[in-house]
């Protein structure tokens, strides 16, 4: 009886040992415990792949919209994403895909380290390996999509650069046309000066049928104008056209009057009274007092005292002291004007004050 009990106890110990020997080891238990974790990570990766697919679709739609004419310019004006922003988003997708590939590689490594003990566990691991392989295939497709998106963005950037260059050229053209439309050229000068440099020429002077005399001459621009003779100005800023120095112009006019005086007397030049008179009259009309005096002297010489008085008055008003004296003489002698001793005295006094000594010697005041 005792020996049977000992045998029974031994058998019980052997069975317990056998059970212990046939059960999964601690390492196997730990690996199997990781299986749900790997499964959950696989599900999470699948969700990320789905979200990535949506991002690809959104970027593809945005690229299609950017390809439409005028869209890039309107988006940049409104502050919306332009091709640079789309390229940045594609770059983010590249980083996401790379990160997902790393996660899939880690999950696959962990699956391969597992030792399944049952058929169902082996089947589960096989299914997960197949799922990871499918996800790798999907990621490879996404990489091809990214490559296509990058090429589309590059094409869009080239088109945008071409359009920007065209817009810049158009802007320069409009600015040039605006500048040309507002650019004017002008020249200031007397008739003689403009004729002398060839800016204008005289036309006309021919006889007209049934009309006595000759038609007057007309000033017209010459056919080939030299741009260097003109002053360039901008109408947008031009407010006035400066005239030549009046003092220099007065000296030029006075020089013509002096030339006329020589022609009136024949001193050093060929005597030509009519030409000298014309020069003097032109100077008088341009406010040269000496020219007025010469015209008055010619009329006085011709005994046209009324006209002589008119031009002596202009000479006197212009500051010619001798003109004041001669006008006083006409009033004293009642030639062409009324006899007026008071007027004579006043004109003599003015002439004396102006430095004409003969008037001072004939004091009437």
- 328 is a domain residue: yes
Residues 103-126: b if buried by 16+ CB within 10 A, e if exposed: bbeebbebbeebebeeeebeebbe
Closest CA relative to residue 44, chosen from 88, 107, 2, 98: 107
Q: Are residues 71 and 168 in the same domain?
A: yes
Q: Are residues 252 and 137 in the same domain?
A: no
Closest CA relative to residue 312, chosen from 338, 265, 266, 347: 347
169 vs 179: CA distance, rounded Å:
15
User: What local confidence, expressed as pLDDT, does residue 162 receive?
Assistant: 87
Lowest mean pLDDT among 23-27, 126-130, 242-246: 23-27
Q: Are residues 199 and 278 in the same domain?
A: no
Pick the more confident residue, 154 or 364: 154
Give the model confidence (pLDDT) of 196-222 as tens digits: 778 888 776 544 333 333 445 677 888
User: What local confidence, expressed as pLDDT, does residue 105 receive?
Assistant: 78
**Which alpha helices (DSSP H) does 23-118 contain, by range?**
26-66, 71-78, 83-112
User: What local confidence, expressed as pLDDT, does residue 150 receive?
Assistant: 76
- 63 is a domain residue: yes
- 4 is a domain residue: no
- 6 is a domain residue: no
Average pLDDT, the chain: 76
User: What local confidence, expressed as pLDDT, does residue 7 receive?
Assistant: 39
Lowest mean pLDDT among 21-25, 103-107, 318-322, 339-343: 21-25
Q: Are residues 226 and 270 in the same domain?
A: no
- Residues 352 and 334 sit within 8 Å (Cβ to Cβ): no
Task: Read off the pLDDT of each residue in 112-126 and give the average, rounded to a whole number.
Answer: 69
Our count of domains for the chain comes to 3
Q: Are residues 38 and 164 in the same domain?
A: yes
269 vs 267: CA distance, rounded Å:
6
Beta bridge partners of 218: 203
- 2 is a domain residue: no
- Residues 123 and 34 sit within 8 Å (Cβ to Cβ): no
Q: Are residues 168 and 213 in the same domain?
A: no
Residue 22 neighbours by CB distance under 10 Å: 7
Asked if pLDDT for residue 319 goes beyond 80, the answer is yes
Domain containing 292 — which CATH number? Answer: 1.25.40.10
Percentage of the residues of the chain whose pLDDT score is greater than 70: 68
201 vs 185: CA distance, rounded Å:
19
Give the model confidence (pLDDT) of 39-93 as tens digits: 665 566 567 666 766 765 666 676 566 556 555 555 454 454 556 776 777 777 7
Pick the more confident residue, 116 or 191: 191
User: What local confidence, expressed as pLDDT, does residue 146 receive?
Assistant: 73
Which of the residue ranges 25-34, 135-144, 148-157, 340-349 has the most confident prediction, judged by mean pLDDT?
340-349
Distance, CA of 112 to chain centre: 69
Q: How confident is the model at residue 361 (pLDDT cuts 50, 70, 90)?
A: confident
Q: Are residues 167 and 207 in the same domain?
A: no
Triad 193, 283, 327: Cα angle to 5°:
175
Q: Are residues 145 and 86 in the same domain?
A: yes
Pick the more confident residue, 225 or 279: 279
Q: Are residues 304 and 272 in the same domain?
A: yes
- 290 is a domain residue: yes
Closest CA relative to residue 153, chosen from 18, 63, 58: 63
User: What local confidence, expressed as pLDDT, does residue 307 receive?
Assistant: 96
Give the model confidence (pLDDT) of 251-268 as tens digits: 888 888 888 888 988 888
- Residues 289 and 323 sit within 8 Å (Cβ to Cβ): yes
Residue 329 neighbours by CB distance under 10 Å: 18
Q: Are residues 175 and 256 in the same domain?
A: no
Q: Are residues 50 and 126 in the same domain?
A: yes
Domain that holds residue 202: 191-234
């Amino acid at each position: 009886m005792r020996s049977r009990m000992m045998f029974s106890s031994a058998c019980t110990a052997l069975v317990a040992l056998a059970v212990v020997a046939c059960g999964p080891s601690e390492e196997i238990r730990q690996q199997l415990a990781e299986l749900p974790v790997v499964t959950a990570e696989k599900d999470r990766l699948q969700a990320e792949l789905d979200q990535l697919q949506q991002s690809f679709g959104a970027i593809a739609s945005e690229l299609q919209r950017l390809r439409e004419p005028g869209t890039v310019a309107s988006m940049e004006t409104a502050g919306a994403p332009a091709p640079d922003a789309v390229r940045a988003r594609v770059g983010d997708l590249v980083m996401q895909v790379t990160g997902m590939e790393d996660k899939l590689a880690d999950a696959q490594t962990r699956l391969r380290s597992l030792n399944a003990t049952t058929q169902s566990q082996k089947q589960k691991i096989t299914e997960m390996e197949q799922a990871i392989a499918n996800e790798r295939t999907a990621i490879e497709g996404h990489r091809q999509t990214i490559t296509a998106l990058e090429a589309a963005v590059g094409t869009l950037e080239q088109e945008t650069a071409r359009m920007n260059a065209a817009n810049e050229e158009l802007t320069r053209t409009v600015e040039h046309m605006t500048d040309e439309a507002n650019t004017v050229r002008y020249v200031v000068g007397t008739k003689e000066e403009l004729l002398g440099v060839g800016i204008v020429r005289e036309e006309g002077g021919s006889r007209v049928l049934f009309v006595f005399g000759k038609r007057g001459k007309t000033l017209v621009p010459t056919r080939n104008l030299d741009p260097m003779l003109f002053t360039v100005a901008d109408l947008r800023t031009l407010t006035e056209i400066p005239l030549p120095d009046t003092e220099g112009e007065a000296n030029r006019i006075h020089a013509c009057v002096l030339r006329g005086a020589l022609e009136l007397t024949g001193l050093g030049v060929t005597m030509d009274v009519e030409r000298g008179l014309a020069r003097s009259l032109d100077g008088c009309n341009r406010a040269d007092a000496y020219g007025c005096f010469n015209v008055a002297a010619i009329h006085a010489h011709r005994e046209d005292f009324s006209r002589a008085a008119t031009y002596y008055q202009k000479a006197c008003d212009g500051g010619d002291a001798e003109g004041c004296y001669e006008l006083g003489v006409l009033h004293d002698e009642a030639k062409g004007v009324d006899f007026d001793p008071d007027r004579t005295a006043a004109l003599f006094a003015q002439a004396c004050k102006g430095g004409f000594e003969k008037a001072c010697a004939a004091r009437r005041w």
